[in-house]
Chains A and B, each alone.
Chain A
Amino acid sequence: MARRHADNRRTAPSDPDMAAALRILRPHLGPALGPLTFSIVAAVAYTLLELAPIWVTLWLVTLTVRAEAAPGDFVAGAVLLAVTIPLCYTLYGLSTEKSHVAAFRMIRSLRLRIAEHLTHLPLGQVTDLSSGASRKLMIDEPEKLELVVAHALPEGVGAVLMWMVVTVWLFATDWLMALATVLLVPVALLAMGLAIRRSVPNMAAFQDANLHMNGVLAEFLRGITAIKVYHRAGPAIARTATAIRDFAQLQSDWGRQFVPLGGTFYALILANITVILPVGLWSLHAGWIDLTEFLLFVILGGNYGAPLMRLFNLFGQMAHISVAVTNIDHVLSSQRQPDTGADLPLRGHEVRFDAVSFGYGEDGDTAALRDVSFTAPGAGMTALIGPSGAGKSTVAALLARFYDPWSGRITIGGQDIAAMGQTQLMETVSFVFQDTFLFRGTIAEALRFARQDASHADLEAAARAARAYDFITALPDGFDTMIGDGSGILSGGERQRLAIARAILKDAPVLVLDEATAFADPDNEAEIQKAISALARGKTVVVVAHRLHTITRADRIIVLDGGRCVAQGRHEELIAQDGLYARMWRDYSATRSARLQTTAPAQEAV
């Protein structure tokens, strides 16, 4: 019943927050501390063990150069490594596993936090999330955050530690040779930096083209039925194909600018043997180092760039993830709806709107309701009428506190609904929803959702009143039939009647319904009408109505137009006023008698 207006409040973040991933995860560190510590300790241990092959190799190399090596030394080295290598990768494995466990715990905690936050957001904001957006919010985005913790830790810690140990070792051995070993790293970083700088102007154009292409693709796919029906494939496909080709072209241009220097980064960072070798030989020649030391640089320095490359890739990933978790960020930063938790004494169940204004946008100028005031008498029926966009559904949504009004007051039985606790409000008001969501379970469980202690006789009585009894008992397992979202056992009309049976069990004194959605299944209209009649008996009813004959007996009809209340009264009074309502009634009557015909002039003007 909440109006759909999904994507209007999402303001694009002006500056991508590269550390957003860390900011979102930080509060959830607690439950992950154990495995996290283990992972880091294991990462340190495996990194040290990774040095064993280097150390053993160097030791044997030294012995060989001194011509002191015996077969026993090689066997000893091999045995040592045969122990350390499996141990090293076992620890690596454990570190990875624990870091993943830590990541999953943080994500679990984050998901629970999002869920907890959602239950305190205005309901309208929650129903605005499409199932796609819900999926992104609850599944995809948290999953992406996994990488940050699960990979950054064992790999990042290992890479940093390895880089530090090797650097210290190199410089402790010979500073000139050490400089020769690391020389290419700043050069490589410089190349990458320049490459990024050079391609930045194009990067923006590139991202625009990417967005443009995805937009055109989405548009093409959205219109594909129309395109096919009107076989306008030519122009539509030409536009889409152009977007695809343009994007490929821009990618190429961007690539051409980036590759000469950016591609160099990856080659340079692995190429330091080509510097170590000549500098080493010249140093040997000058007598600054001996052969053993030279060999140390060859072995140790040859792989110097590898941990740095790993770190570079990790940083890239993290920035990438940070800009991709916008849904979580958006939801977690949304204002909660205050809940007093109070249970206030009500004087009857009269509903009053007192100068209520409200709009869906955050800016003050797009009001959906302006200064709407009316009273819906207790235990009476009030109908909301008006052209589309008049604000009828908004009134219903506000009454259920899907949103809170910008200004004005809504009261039930004299109490402001914002001062009532959510629980009390929900016990007081029933709605017949747009889309009847049924959790998986049996029909009896679905009905008991409304009243846990309901006896089987209560269920049967409610089902009978809601005209649901016959189809339920016709099912193989009757009230014990398993139903659930997407099970396809129940038709739309049947689900609707189940929802009504549930509302009957709940027996709240105020009932809000939207005719457009309550009667979404025209083939079962009569059945649903009977169910609604049973539900409405003795209640304060507020109904959004389109089929005017259904509300001719309403105690009060509120006529809305452009967000304002333009008239109110009983059917006969409003007809007599000859305003908007009278015009709608004439249109309605004309429509009811209209006939489609292919042969004769259809009908005379009314």
Chain B
Amino acid sequence: MVAVTASGRPVQWRRIWLLAGPEQTRMLRAMLFRLMQSFALGLGFAATLWAIRDLADGREITQIWLWQITGLAALSLAGQLGFSFLAVSDAWQASFRVCGTVRLALLDRLLALPLGYHLGRERGDLVNLMSTDVDALGTFLSDGLGRVVQAFGLPLAILVFMAAIDVRLALAMALTIAIGVPVLAQTSHKLSGLGLRRQSQQAETSARVVEFVVGQPVLRAFGRQAEGTARFQGAVDGLYAISVRLVRALVAPVMVFVAILMLGIPVTMLAIAWTLGGLEAGTVLTALILAYAIYAPIINLVSAMEMMRIAEASLLRMDAVFDQPVPAPASPTRSPEGFALSVDDVSFAYDGKTAVLRDLSFEVPERSMVAIVGPSGSGKSTLLNLIAHFWDPDTGTISIGGVPLPELPPGVPMDQISMVSQDVALFSGSVFDNIAIGRHGATRQEVAAAARAAQADGFITALPRGYDTELGESGARLSGGERQRIAIARAILKDAPIVLLDEATAAIDPINERALQEALIALVLDRTLIVVAHKLNTIAAADRIFVLDRGTIVEQGSHTELVAQQGLYARLHARKVEAEGWTLSS
């Protein structure tokens, strides 16, 4: 009965309602059918009470009356079965379709978001969002909504019925509902807040529990298992304490709600005692029976509320995606002239506060090679990501062929740029698919030619099914160098005039590395190249080298000029030379 999810801020139910579109009618109809189902059950109660009142008045049981009552009972049963069938059918169908629509809407939105949003994101979170979270929403739509209607349907019928007989008794019955339901609503609100607090406390403690697993190698290496276990025990005890405290806080209000509701029974009895003189026996019996029957459905609100809280937590996570700003395409658009690249007064901060790049300006003429070097954290990779239009700069503009990136026709920036980064995104599908994505409608010959140029043909044909070998989670595993050569083949096939290259930092074996190097040499020929370099020897031939430090260009020039300047580049270079001369010994 008690489970909590957090919802700190208002949830966008409206968006779901709008997304539901044509299913809105079906959802409303489902609720209406639920109501009718409750009323059909109410009919059964009404018939029962009718019989009881008459019997209490001493009415003789006649055949015809028996058949009448039996008929009413049959009608009630048929109504319940029929309306329940209609309600469940509609609710389920609507819920399935709305889930599908919401998934498609999320998909659209994820695709429209800037690439930067997807970099370094836990994919598992998004997969969960699109499967589990949408399912939670579906459960509330198919089940929870109906329960809410049922919680109020029968009690409403009962109150109307009772009021028709005796308003005072109806009011007595309604009294604890009027007190209890607001209490539950209030509680539900408070529980959400509590859930939020628990989530943050729990996140902290959970992190320490997981730490135990991740830290195992260190713990064992230094023989500190005991200490690790002690830390772990502390964290687990912490989780235990939080959970117990939370349950205490949760159980009490729910029980108060139920108790308040059920106290309606003695309240009704008191009301009967108060008015007993003027009441017929039938009315008293009716009131007693109804007082006992009216509260049970309302208690079910507790579980409906729980479903709603879970759905709201899921909605909140969906909102986080829906509320991400989507860059608006500029209109009108212009086509670039040539593919020189210019970076003009660009500043950028990931969080809007701490600038990673500051007032950066430089030009890259067509078919020239520019290298960017600098210590770690100087903003090199960020700069590449901005040029690839993963993000928009906070201020300043980046232009291709004289046209700022946002003003290029949709797709053009991506067509003009090939990016080869350290982190190669291969997707499930064959090797062929993974290369052919570089050019629409590429033939097998074209793909094979690109693979040959990228020094990838050899290892691909050695795979069990050659170009048709499946990659990805369940498919063949490629080494880092091989993955990169696939990415290079892709870029060669794409044949974009601008190449952005983020040189790999991880050491790979010499055979792979040489193949990779040759693949790169084939790729960059005759293109505009911007390379983030870690091994300074590869960029000795660059037309221009920019030295980046803390987000600004501190030096620029050719390799020879920079070495002569005796500045940061010269220092970095000296250290590289030193590192390359190092040999390990014991």
Q: Mark A355-391, 1 if CB is under 8 A from B, else 0.
A: 0000000000000000000000001110101111110
Residue of B nearest to A127 (CB): B217
Give complex CA distance A112, B411 in Å. 54
- Given the known inter-chain contacts A226-B427, A588-B513, please indicate yes or no for A299 contacting B44, CB distance below 8 A: no
Q: Are A105 and B240 neighbours in the complex by a CB distance under 8 Å?
A: yes
Q: Are A506 and B524 neighbours in the complex by a CB distance under 8 Å?
A: no
Partner of B123, one of A57, A92, A221: A221
Give complex CA distance A271, B47 in Å. 13
Chain B residues positioned under 8 Å from A306 (CB to CB): 296
Number of interface residues of A (CB under 8 A): 198
Q: Are A594 and B583 neighbours in the complex by a CB distance under 8 Å?
A: no
Q: State the Cβ distance, A219 to closest chain B Cβ, in Å.
A: 4
Partner of A96, one of B2, B228, B527: B2
Chain B residues positioned under 8 Å from A566 (CB to CB): none
Partner of B289, one of A138, A237, A275, A298: A298
Q: Are A264 and B494 neighbours in the complex by a CB distance under 8 Å?
A: no
Task: Tell yes or no: B336 within 8 A of A by CB.
Answer: no
- Given the known inter-chain contacts A241-B104, A583-B511, please indicate yes or no for A596 contacting B244, CB distance below 8 A: no
Give complex CA distance A232, B493 in Å. 14
A148-183 interface (Cβ within 8 A of B): 150-151, 155
Q: Are A86 and B507 neighbours in the complex by a CB distance under 8 Å?
A: no
Q: Are A79 and B81 neighbours in the complex by a CB distance under 8 Å?
A: no
Chain A residues positioned under 8 Å from B512 (CB to CB): 387-388
Q: Mark A574-606, 1 if CB is under 8 A from B, else 0.
A: 000000000111011011111111110111000
Q: Are B292 and A251 neighbours in the complex by a CB distance under 8 Å?
A: no
Partner of B534, one of A70, A245, A522: A522
Chain B residues positioned under 8 Å from A230 (CB to CB): 414, 437-438, 490, 494
Partner of B52, one of A105, A226, A298, A602: A298
Q: Mark A62-73, 1 if CB is under 8 A from B, else 0.
A: 001101011111
Task: Tell yes or no: B175 within 8 A of A by CB.
Answer: no
Q: Mark A503-521, 1 if CB is under 8 A from B, else 0.
A: 0001000010001100111
Give complex CA distance A139, B235 in Å. 11
- Given the known inter-chain contacts A100-B244, A277-B47, A491-B376, please indicate yes or no for A61 contacting B289, CB distance below 8 A: yes
Task: Tell yes or no: A525 within 8 A of B by CB.
Answer: yes
Q: Are B85 and A222 neighbours in the complex by a CB distance under 8 Å?
A: no
Q: State the Cβ distance, B372 to closest chain A Cβ, in Å.
A: 13
Residue of B nearest to A439 (CB): B215
A460-488 interface (Cβ within 8 A of B): 485
Q: Are A516 and B508 neighbours in the complex by a CB distance under 8 Å?
A: yes
Task: Tell yes or no: A330 within 8 A of B by CB.
Answer: no
- Given the known inter-chain contacts A74-B273, A248-B97, A277-B47, please indicate yes or no for A381 contacting B258, CB distance below 8 A: no
Q: Are B507 and A516 neighbours in the complex by a CB distance under 8 Å?
A: yes
Chain B residues positioned under 8 Å from A198 (CB to CB): none
Task: Tell yes or no: B51 within 8 A of A by CB.
Answer: yes
- Main secondary structure on chain A at its contact with chain B? helix
Task: Tell yes or no: A228 within 8 A of B by CB.
Answer: yes
Q: State the Cβ distance, A80 to closest chain B Cβ, in Å.
A: 8
| Extra A-B contacts (4), CB below 8 Å, given A96-B255, A302-B293 | A100-B243, A244-B100, A247-B100, A263-B88
Task: Tell yes or no: B164 within 8 A of A by CB.
Answer: no
Q: Are B240 and A433 neighbours in the complex by a CB distance under 8 Å?
A: no
Chain A residues positioned under 8 Å from B511 (CB to CB): 387, 583-584, 587
Q: State the Cβ distance, B321 to closest chain A Cβ, in Å.
A: 12
Chain B residues positioned under 8 Å from A601 (CB to CB): 525
- Given the known inter-chain contacts A267-B80, A529-B579, please indicate yes or no for A123 contacting B233, CB distance below 8 A: no
Task: Tell yes or no: A93 within 8 A of B by CB.
Answer: yes
Chain B residues positioned under 8 Å from A430 (CB to CB): 221
Q: Mark B81-125, 1 if CB is under 8 A from A, else 0.
A: 100110111001100110110011001101100010011001110
Q: Are B586 and A540 neighbours in the complex by a CB distance under 8 Å?
A: yes
Q: Which of B99, B122, B228, B288 has the most CB of A within 10 A?
A: B288
Task: Tell yes or no: A224 within 8 A of B by CB.
Answer: yes
Give complex CA distance A195, B535 in Å. 67
Q: Are A219 and B96 neighbours in the complex by a CB distance under 8 Å?
A: no
Q: Are A387 and B509 neighbours in the complex by a CB distance under 8 Å?
A: yes
Can you list 8 A-B contacts with CB-CB less than 8 angstroms, sorted by A residue number? A89-B262, A138-B209, A294-B52, A449-B224, A515-B507, A549-B581, A587-B514, A595-B540
Give complex CA distance A108, B272 in Å. 52
Q: Are A219 and B427 neighbours in the complex by a CB distance under 8 Å?
A: yes
Q: State the Cβ distance, A372 to closest chain B Cβ, in Å.
A: 18
Q: Mark A234-258, 1 if CB is under 8 A from B, else 0.
A: 0001001100110110011001100
- Given the known inter-chain contacts A226-B425, A587-B511, please indicate yes or no for A526 contacting B578, CB distance below 8 A: yes
Q: Are B541 and A520 neighbours in the complex by a CB distance under 8 Å?
A: no
Chain B residues positioned under 8 Å from A108 (CB to CB): 236-237, 239-240
Number of interface residues of B (CB under 8 A): 181
Task: Tell yes or no: B73 within 8 A of A by CB.
Answer: yes
Segment at the interface with B among A15-23, A281-289, A340-348: A281-289
Chain A residues positioned under 8 Å from B273 (CB to CB): 71-75, 78
Q: Are A255 and B96 neighbours in the complex by a CB distance under 8 Å?
A: yes
In the complex, the 4 A-B pairs of residues with the closest C-beta atoms, listed nearest first:
A223-B427, A248-B100, A263-B88, A74-B273
Task: Tell yes or no: A573 within 8 A of B by CB.
Answer: no
Task: Tell yes or no: A45 within 8 A of B by CB.
Answer: no
Chain A residues positioned under 8 Å from B256 (CB to CB): 89
Residue of A nearest to B229 (CB): A115
Q: State the Cβ distance, A496 to closest chain B Cβ, in Å.
A: 12
Task: Tell yes or no: A570 within 8 A of B by CB.
Answer: no
Q: Mark B224-266, 1 if CB is under 8 A from A, else 0.
A: 1100110111001101100110011001101110110011011
Q: State the Cβ distance, A562 to closest chain B Cβ, in Å.
A: 12
Q: State the Cβ distance, B488 to closest chain A Cβ, in Å.
A: 12
- Given the known inter-chain contacts A244-B100, A267-B80, please indicate yes or no for A81 contacting B266, CB distance below 8 A: yes
Give complex CA distance A520, B27 in Å. 56
Task: Tell yes or no: B61 within 8 A of A by CB.
Answer: yes
B401-457 interface (Cβ within 8 A of A): 411, 414-415, 419, 425-429, 437-438, 440
Q: Which of A251, A538, A591 has the most CB of B within 10 A?
A: A591
Q: Mark B267-308, 1 if CB is under 8 A from A, else 0.
A: 101101110100001001100110111001000000000000
Residue of B nearest to A541 (CB): B586
Give complex CA distance A515, B505 in Å. 12
Segment at the interface with A among B8-16, B126-134, B324-332, B338-346: B126-134
Q: Are B119 and A595 neighbours in the complex by a CB distance under 8 Å?
A: no
Q: Are A81 and B265 neighbours in the complex by a CB distance under 8 Å?
A: yes
Task: Tell yes or no: A266 within 8 A of B by CB.
Answer: yes
A416-464 interface (Cβ within 8 A of B): 422-423, 426-427, 430-431, 433, 437, 439-440, 449-450
Q: Are B41 and A523 neighbours in the complex by a CB distance under 8 Å?
A: no
Task: Tell yes or no: B575 within 8 A of A by CB.
Answer: yes
Residue of A nearest to B529 (CB): A598
Q: Are B425 and A222 neighbours in the complex by a CB distance under 8 Å?
A: yes
Q: Are A596 and B259 neighbours in the complex by a CB distance under 8 Å?
A: no
Task: Tell yes or no: A11 within 8 A of B by CB.
Answer: no
Give complex CA distance A423, B104 in Å. 55
- Given the known inter-chain contacts A259-B88, A595-B540, please indicate yes or no for A219 contacting B472, CB distance below 8 A: yes
Task: Tell yes or no: B458 within 8 A of A by CB.
Answer: no
Q: Are B99 and A549 neighbours in the complex by a CB distance under 8 Å?
A: no
Task: Tell yes or no: B526 within 8 A of A by CB.
Answer: yes
Chain B residues positioned under 8 Å from A277 (CB to CB): 44, 47-48, 51, 69-70, 72-73
Q: Are B507 and A237 neighbours in the complex by a CB distance under 8 Å?
A: no
Give complex CA distance A468, B108 in Å. 48
Chain B residues positioned under 8 Å from A244 (CB to CB): 100, 103-104, 107
Q: Are A388 and B509 neighbours in the complex by a CB distance under 8 Å?
A: yes
Give complex CA distance A551, B367 in Å. 39
Task: Tell yes or no: B560 within 8 A of A by CB.
Answer: no
- Given the known inter-chain contacts A57-B292, A252-B96, please indicate yes or no for A388 contacting B481, CB distance below 8 A: yes
B570-586 interface (Cβ within 8 A of A): 572, 575-576, 578-586
Q: Are B240 and A118 neighbours in the complex by a CB distance under 8 Å?
A: no
A212-229 interface (Cβ within 8 A of B): 213-215, 217-229
Q: Are B123 and A222 neighbours in the complex by a CB distance under 8 Å?
A: yes
Residue of A nearest to B218 (CB): A437
